């Protein structure tokens, strides 16, 4: 049910009815099942993001097919265009967060705590040292440097860059 609600909201905001949302959700589950059974299938986003992307593609295709001779973007009003752009950005952001989370998990627990503490929580070296049980902030600073080097090697080995972070949906 938690995967149905965002799809229903998307359909209702894009010229659909609740019945359309139920039908679409069934179609989405079938597509997801077929994709998941493929040998080369790799889920590189949250399930909710993946399902919503499938739903979006199917629903917008149906809308375009129903409006054969008119441009879909001409039919949309500004709020609908903004909503669609927002969804695209949200899906891209979810994908990037998922990839960053994957990388942090591969670095190990200590590196993850140091990098999140320093960059996300904006904690100083001394505070991190106390939280993590290190003798001084200098030790945390050295460990942070090692973690960053490890992260860079990991990124290079996976050939990840800003340009090749793609949504694989």
**In the chain, where the domains are located:** 1-75, 99-169
Q: Which residues contact residue 123 at a Cβ distance below 8 angstroms, ignoring those fewer than 6 apart?
A: 117, 131
* pTM, full prediction: 0.46
Q: Coil, strand or helix: which one is 58?
A: helix
User: Could you report the average pLDDT of every consecutive run of 10 residues in the chain (169 residues)?
Assistant: 82 84 90 84 80 85 67 54 68 74 87 91 94 94 94 78 42
Considering only the C-alpha atoms of the chain, give the largest distance between any 2 of them, rounded to a whole number of Å.
70
Residue 130: φ, ψ to 5° = -65, -45
| pLDDT tens by residue, 40-80 | 778 777 888 888 888 888 888 887 777 654 454 455 555 66
Cα dihedral sign, 158-41-164-87: negative
Which CATH code fits 99-169?
Answer: 1.10.10.10
**Two tokens, residue 42:** 């790799």
């Amino acid at each position: 049910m938690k995967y149905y609600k965002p799809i229903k909201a998307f359909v209702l905001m894009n010229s659909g009815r609740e019945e359309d949302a139920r039908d679409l959700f069934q179609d989405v589950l079938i597509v997801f099942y077929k994709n998941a059974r493929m040998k080369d299938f790799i889920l590189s986003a949250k399930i909710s993001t993946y399902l919503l992307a499938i739903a979006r593609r199917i629903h917008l295709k149906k809308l375009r097919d129903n409006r054969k001779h008119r441009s879909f973007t001409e039919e949309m009003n500004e709020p609908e265009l903004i909503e669609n752009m927002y969804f695209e950005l949200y899906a891209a952001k979810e994908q990037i967060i998922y990839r960053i989370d994957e990388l942090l998990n591969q670095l190990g627990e200590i590196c993850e705590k140091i990098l999140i503490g320093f960059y996300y929580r904006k904690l100083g070296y001394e505070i991190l040292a106390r939280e993590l049980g290190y003798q001084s902030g200098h030790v945390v600073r050295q460990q942070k440097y090692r973690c960053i080097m490890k992260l860079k090697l990991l990124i290079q080995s996976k050939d990840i860059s800003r340009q090749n972070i793609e949504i694989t949906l």
